Structure 1
Amino acid sequence: MVASIRVVESSLTTPKVRIIAIDRPWEWLGAGWKDLWRAPATSISYGLLFVAMGYLLVYLIEGQFQYALALTTGFLLAGPFLSMGLYDISRRLEAGEPATLGHALMAWQCNVLPILMFGGLIGLLMIVWARLSAVLFGVIVGGGRHLVLDSSVAQLFFSGSGLTFLIVFTLVGAMIAAAVFVISVVSIPMMLDRKTDFITAVLTSVTAVQANIGVMVLWAALITIFTGIGLITFYLGLAIVLPLIGHATWHAYRDIVDSDDLEQHPI
């Protein structure tokens, strides 16, 4: 029997969060892989949108390394929110319903206000991160320096102030990414799947992490590794990697959140 706890102990309406085994993320990835190939055209097409966004970011920063770093990591902060359509694909496959790209792109309409509130929060965090990145670069490296994506970047970032900036940038970025992970790991699939308000969804996500620290650390590490693989393939790998993570995240939500007592959206 799987142990579970209430998100709010005195509440009769909030869902229970299950305490799960440490090896469950591998099961989520396996289930996500099956979903990917049950609807390959829809999933990969959705993934290709991320690839296009990546190349658009590269074009917009015009080869300036410091901005490429900030925008790429900021783009990844928004990944859980932007993957909403992938959760919808898995939801439809689970229900035996057709899963099209049109359905995936319009998934946010099923619970508009809470989802838009979460999107606004993610947007605010991205703006803060972009500004903070610029400040860190200006203070540590020097605001007047504009780096291009060539061999001089490696020389700078592994010596002197460049190395200091890289370390501080990574630590601060990791803290912000961890905060986003904690509030989003099950909240967005939950808002998509159920008639759940923004606060309840976020509290459920926080409780899920608190109740399953080891599992969530492993899951966050796997997401980071797989996303890194997608990035080092010049974004092309994201066409497969992000659908895999997105589908797996849906199964993580279904595994962790015991929401039988909540009203489910019609497909």
Structure 2
Amino acid sequence: MNETILPPVPGGSDPRVNRVTLGHPWRWLAKGWQDIRSAPVYSLRYGAGIVVISALIVLLTVLGHLTFLVPFLTAGFFLMAPILAIGLYQMSAHLERGESPRHCQALEAVRRNQGQLGVATGFLFITMQLWILASVFLFIMLFHDPFPTWKNFIPVVVLSGQYTALLIVITLVGAFFAVCAFCISAITIPMLIDRQVDGFTAMRTSVRAVSLNWAPMLLWAALLVLIGGAGLMTFYVGLFVAVPLVGHGTWHAYRDLVARD
């Protein structure tokens, strides 16, 4: 696979990290699609569950007259996506070993390293909360009119041209949180269900994998955003396929990025 294995961190016990090429992200998607084809019922049913949950959250937000939070929650979806796809990683692990997928994949995955998965999930949740709080604070400080409704949010905030500064600042802040979240979670959750390591070791390994392979991982992040964004733009229906595709693909990204000692 044209990978270069790097040594462990001096004085530590962190797993070794491989160097990958710009061709690998495309291979991860191809392998993810193959996993969907190998277990379509399990994979697509998982995607359907994500669609239903996403739609319910948006519905509750609209009913609660908090529609201005929808864009921030959408961004939060990308931040929490690594943990939402945990069952898909377990499916790929079974398929990789030539085993049939089982029911309750997410529960099976959680039980493998429950405490440390809780640590990683806590970090992602805190990151998402900080992003939402920062966004709401910026919105309150820079948006002087009453909060827009769902119907006029895009015309008032995005298209009117009156809140360009608000959009720029929120975009920059969101990009900062997105980069942080991606670095600490790119391969953390798959690693925790595959190996008995602690959450901090997994997150350090994820940061090393991203920093040492910044170009391929930048491409991978862009592909994740494009595929996930396409799913969201179809009123969440596209997540039916998008989530399984990137979830299975992330498992294969982990397998190529972390050396199999």
Say whether the fold is shared (TM-score over 0.5).
Answer: yes
Counterpart among 111, 115, 134 of residue 132 in structure 1:
134
Matching of residue 69 in structure 1 with residue 88 in structure 2: no
**Equivalent residue, structure 2, for 1:14:** 14
1:95-139 alpha-carbon deviations (Å, 9 max, x no partner): 122212313343111001110111111111122122111101101
- Is 1:107 aligned to 2:119, yes or no? no
Aligned equivalent of 1:79 = 81
Cα root mean square deviation, aligned: 1.6
Question: How much has 1:160 moved relative to structure 2?
Answer: 4.1
Contact 2:88 2:105 in 1 (8 A): no
Q: Which amino acid aligns with 1:87?
A: Y
1:163 Cα deviation from its structure 2 partner? 2.5
Matches within 5 A, 1:186-265: 186-260=187-261
- The amino acid of 1:187's aligned partner reads T
Q: CA deviation at 1:178?
A: 1.1
Task: Kindly indicate whether the alpha-carbon contact (under 8 Å) linking 1:43 and 1:243 is maintained by their aligned counterparts in 2.
Answer: yes
Indicate the SS of the match to 1:258: coil
Q: Which residue of 2 aligns with 1:52?
A: 52
Instruction: Give how far 1:75 is off.
Output: 2.3
Q: Distance in 1 between matches of 2:77 and 2:60?
A: 13
In the alignment, structure 2 segments of 5+ residues that lack a partner are none
Letter in 1 for 2:77: F
Looking at structure 1, the residues matched to 200 and 156 of structure 2 have their Cα atoms a distance apart, in angstroms, of 46
- Describe the superposition over 1:188-240 as per-residue Cα deviations: whole angstroms up to 9, x where unpaired: 11111011111111111011011101001000000000011001111000010
Deviation, structure 1 residue 72: 1.7
Q: Percent identity?
A: 38
**2-side partners of 1:42 and 1:109: how far apart?**
19
What 5-or-longer segments of structure 1 have no aligned partner?
Answer: 261-267
Partner of 1:37: 37
Q: Is the 8 A contact 1:17 1:256 kept in 2?
A: yes
Show CA shifts across 1:155-200 (max 9, x none). 4322344222222212211110111110111111111101111111
Matched to 2:99, the amino acid is E
Tell me whether 1:169 sits opposite 2:170 in the alignment: yes
1:89 and 2:91 matched? yes
CA contact (8 A) 1:65 1:153 kept: no
Tell me, yes or no, if the aligned pair for 2:120 and 2:188 is still in contact at 8 Å. Answer: no
Q: Is the 8 A contact 1:29 1:248 kept in 2?
A: yes
Per the alignment, residue 122 of structure 2 pairs with 120
How many residues were matched structurally?
A: 258
Question: What one-letter code is carried by the residue in structure 1 that aligns with 2:92?
Answer: S
CA distance in 1, matches of 2:19, 2:190: 18
The TM-score with structure 2 as length reference comes to 0.93
Change (3 A) 1:152 1:96: closer
Q: Give, as a single letter, the amino acid of the residue that structure 2 aligns with 1:243.
A: P
- After TM superposition, the runs of 4+ consecutive aligned structure 1 residues lying more than 3 A away are none
Range with bigger deviation, 51-60 or 161-170: 161-170
